[in-house]
Every structure is written in C-alpha cells, then in structure tokens.
Structure 1
Amino acid sequence: MNHELFDAAIVDLDGTMVDTLGDFVAALNQMLAETLPGRWPAAGLDAATVERMVGKGSEHLVRSTLKHVGAQMGSAQSAINLIANFDAAFAAYQRHYTGINGRHSAVYPGVPEGLRTLQQAGLRLACLTNKPLAFALELLKLKGLDGFFTQVFGGDSFERKKPDPLPLLKTCECLGTSPARTLMIGDSSNDARAARAAGCPVVLVTYGYNHGEPVRDVDADGFIDSLAELHLQK
C-alpha cells in the first residue's frame, strides 16, 4: 500500500481496535435484569446473539435486544410492553455500561503496531465510532490508545451515524483532508458503506463484528487479518 496515496486515516473502534463484545454482553444482561426483575434468566444473552446486533450505535443495540427478548417471551403483551419501555431500558444500559466500560474488553493483537505504522508514515489519525463519545474516549484512554489520535468522534458527535457518510465527511473536514486521500479502516459493512458513499478508500479487518455476515463478502478495497499488516511503502 502506497502511503503517498493518503494524508490521513480514520479508524473504527469496536471490532477493529478493541474487542468489546464482553462489555456489551455484560451491560445488556445487567440492563435486562433490571428491566425484567425476576424474569430474566441468569444465563442471559450470549455473545453470539449480541455480536449480530453490534455496530449501529447504542440505541440500535438496545432496540434490537428488546425486540429479540420480546420475541422470546411467551406473552405478546409482555413483549409489546418491553419494547415500549425503550427509554427506561436505554437509561439502564447507559448506566450499567458506564460501570463496566473496558472491564471485559481487550485490544486486538497488532493494533498498536498498525497505528504506529500509520503515524510513522505521516498520516493524521482520527477514531470514528458509533459508540457514544464519552464511552469511546474513556475506552481509548483505558487501553492506552488515546495518544494515537488527533480527533475522536462518537455516534453522538454528528446528526447521523455510520453507515451514513456524514460522519466520515465531517471527520475528513476536521482533519483537513479530502475523502479520496483518507483511508477508512473498519470491521463491517457499516464502515465500508459509509466509506464508499463518502468517497474514501476502505480496508476491513477480518476478525470484527459484521452482523453475523462474512466480512469478505463486503465491498471493500482490501482485507487484513491484523492492523500490523498495514505496510505503507513509497
């Protein structure tokens, strides 16, 4: 990959730099235990179920969880009541996630090396995630990744979230770079669709969360098994 093609890179967070699935599972199960006292089984949601719902922001994750749980409940009215109680459930999720952010997560192998490669090539770096900004900033700091980025934007930083192109276009604007010279690095069709619509080249990692779909079926410019594989040459 020729680093002279790029002035900057935008890097996704969940599923790209940090495996946060354990955080999501823990926060959602705590949310459900609070929302359904005495009725939510101790085993709770499993990681495979949650993984399919991750990627489009916290609101989407909570709504998808409530729909999934509602469909598992015997009473149609109970399911309707659960889904209608979104505001209370979302507030509970936010509160529980605040308490466990980063505790059940880990940086993927090769991430620091890959970010250093991008920095050494002279690229400006931004983190762009659909995770709420406060959670993203805290997680990056907890995992020692905050020093790599000049800009960090979350799912509540702009009017719309990925896969809408607006967050990428706004991030490019803040970086002072054109989309065509700004590489998007992500893990899912959300990142690829946003990049395509914004006019950014896009590379996807093969290990993240792609809504249960094979990531190599996504329209992208390349795939890597680790950020350490980012070799930028003249």
Structure 2
Amino acid sequence: MTQRFSVAAITFDLDGTLLDTVPDLAAAAQDMAAELGIPPRREDEVRVFVGRGIPNLVERCLGERAQDAALLARAIEVFKRCYRVRNGERAVPYDGAHDTLVALQKAGFRLACVTNKAVDFTLPLLEQMDMRQYFGSVVGGDTLPQKKPDPAPLLHAVRELGVAPSAALHVGDSYNDIDCARNAGIPVLGVPWGYSEGRVLDAKDCDGLLSSLPDLLSRVALPTEH
C-alpha cells in the first residue's frame, strides 16, 4: 500500500523537480566557453553537472582547467553574467507543476522552494514561471552559508513556514535532496524525471518515488484530515 503522509508543509527542489532548466544552463555554459576560448560542453553533459550550485557546475564544466584558481574564479563570474541573460529563456515547468501547486495551496498546505540555485537567479525565474506566489519561503544556495545536502536550508525553510520538521515533506530529484531531507529528519519523495547528477533514484533510498507531480496529491492527507 502506498504511504500517505500527514504533513502541514511541503518543500520543493527547483531545477529538475518543478522546472526543466538545463537548456538555459547549457546555453550559459556554452556562452561562457566561447568567451573564455575553451571547448564547450554539450547539453547532456551539463545535465549531469546540475544540482550543487553554480560554482560546482562551472568547475565541472572546466574539468582539469578548474585547477587554475584564477581561471575558475573568472569563469564563475562569466557564467553568472551569461546566465542572467539566459535564465528563463527556455526553461519550462514540468507537466502538472502549476496545477499541483495550486491544488496544494488551496488545500491549505504551506509550501517552500529550497534550491542550491542562488537567490538572484531563483526569484526572477519563479516570477517568470508564475510560481513565486505559491511559496511562503524561498531558500537559495546563498541564503545560508550551507547548501543542500546540509540540512540547514531545509530546516530554515520549515522554520519560515512555521512548522516543525516532523510536519514537513520534501520533494526533490536527486540524492542531494534525499540526503538533505534525511539529515533534517524530514520524509522525502523523489522524482525520476530530474537530473540527479547522472544517478538513477532508487525508491529504497527515499520514502517513495512520484510518477508525476500531480501524483503528489494522492500521497498527502489534506490538512483538514489531520
């Protein structure tokens, strides 16, 4: 029997969970490579690099060249400038994302977005995708000194929502999310359509896998049912 969670709050990862953002990130990486005069990365390569924030993505794009600290620092700044132009250009919500967020909000759940993407990129993207209004808390990769999989961002989000960790559920596409939620003492559902740094999510490592975002609606008890 599928487990049904009785929670007051649901937190979501962004890239690979609610939105497919790889086309924008790959375009920015290619722009960066052109400016720096280094070989560009393919979109399928960049897809594997997503999940741990921009500095990590850029470092992985550079490969062995990242050992040059000055080049790495310059590349990060060039990437950020390129991504500001590309952010939201081709990103799209996954099927059912808006409908699911609307339904959860109307049902009385408190919602948060917890991502390793910097806030300066996250907030404009959420606005552009018409999603910002659903979230009572938005925690980016630079909101705190720690990023996922450290539990601090997730714990910060649930505090802002005014609930205990035991009353929250996290939804994400990677082991980064699973480890973060486990470290925070929060149950976690995985989504198999995301990036996950090239690893395939295994249901045994989390509290279940969603077949789609609308599938989440059948996995939680309405707040009025608690």
Tell me, which stretches of 5 or more residues in structure 1 are unaligned?
71-78
Confirm or deny: 8 A CA contact 2:10 2:168 kept in the other structure.
Answer: yes
**What 5-or-longer segments of structure 2 have no aligned partner?**
none
Match in the other structure for 1:96: 82
The aligned residue for residue 73 of structure 1 is none
Give the aligned partner of residue 64 of structure 1. 60
- Aligned position for 1:46: 42
- Superposed displacement of residue 2, structure 1: 4.2
Q: State whether structure 2 residue 223 is matched by structure 1 residue 227.
A: no
Q: Quote the Cα distance in structure 2 between the aligned partners of 1:66 and 1:83.
A: 11
Structure 1 residues 121 and 2, CA gap change in structure 2 (3 angstroms): farther
Cα deviation per residue 1:140-161 (whole Å; 9 max; x = unaligned)? 1111111111111110001110
Quote the offset at 1:123 in angstroms: 1.0
Cα distance between partner residues in 1 of 2:82 and 2:125: 15
The one-letter code of the counterpart of 1:157 is T
Q: Paired residue for 2:128?
A: 142
Q: Distance in 1 between matches of 2:167 and 2:66?
A: 47
Kindly name which structure, 1 or 2, has the bigger radius of gyration based on alpha carbons.
1
Cα distance between partner residues in 1 of 2:120 and 2:204: 30
1:82 Cα deviation from its structure 2 partner: 5.0
Q: How far did residue 176 of structure 1 move? A: 1.2
Counterparts in 2 of 1:7-22, with a 5 A limit?
7-22=8-23
Question: If the length of structure 1 is used for normalisation, what is the TM-score?
Answer: 0.88
Runs of 4+ off more than 2 Å: 79-84
Q: Which moved more, 1:115-124 or 1:8-17?
A: 115-124
TM-score, normalised with respect to structure 2 = 0.91
Equivalent of residue 188 in structure 1, options 136, 158, 174:
174
Question: 1:137-191: per-residue Cα shift (whole Å, max 9, x none)?
Answer: 1111111111111111110001110011111111111111111111101111011
Cα distance change, pair 155–218 in 1 and its aligned pair in 2 (3 A):
farther
The share of aligned pairs that are identical, in percent, is: 38
Question: Could you say which residue in structure 1 is the equivalent of 2:186?
Answer: 200
Question: Would the aligned equivalents of 1:52 and 1:210 in 2 still touch at CA under 8 Å?
Answer: yes
Superimposed CA distance per residue, residues 54-85 of structure 1 (whole angstroms, 9 cap, x where no aligned partner): 10011111111111xx4xxxxxxxx4775641
SS of 2:170 mapped into structure 1? strand
From the superposition, tell whether residues 137 and 80 of structure 1 become closer, same or farther in structure 2 (CA, over 3 Å): closer
Report if aligned partners of 1:192, 1:218 keep a CA contact under 8 Å in 2: no
Q: Secondary structure at the match of 2:27?
A: helix
CA distance in 2, matches of 1:54, 1:81: 20
SS of 1:131 mapped into structure 2: coil
Q: What is the identity, as a one-letter code, of the residue corresponding to 2:175?
A: S
Q: Give the length in aligned residue pairs.
A: 218
In structure 2, the residue matched to 1:209 is: 195
Which shows bigger deviation, 224-233 or 6-15? 224-233
- Alpha-carbon distance change, 80 to 191 in structure 1, aligned in 2, over 3 angstroms: closer
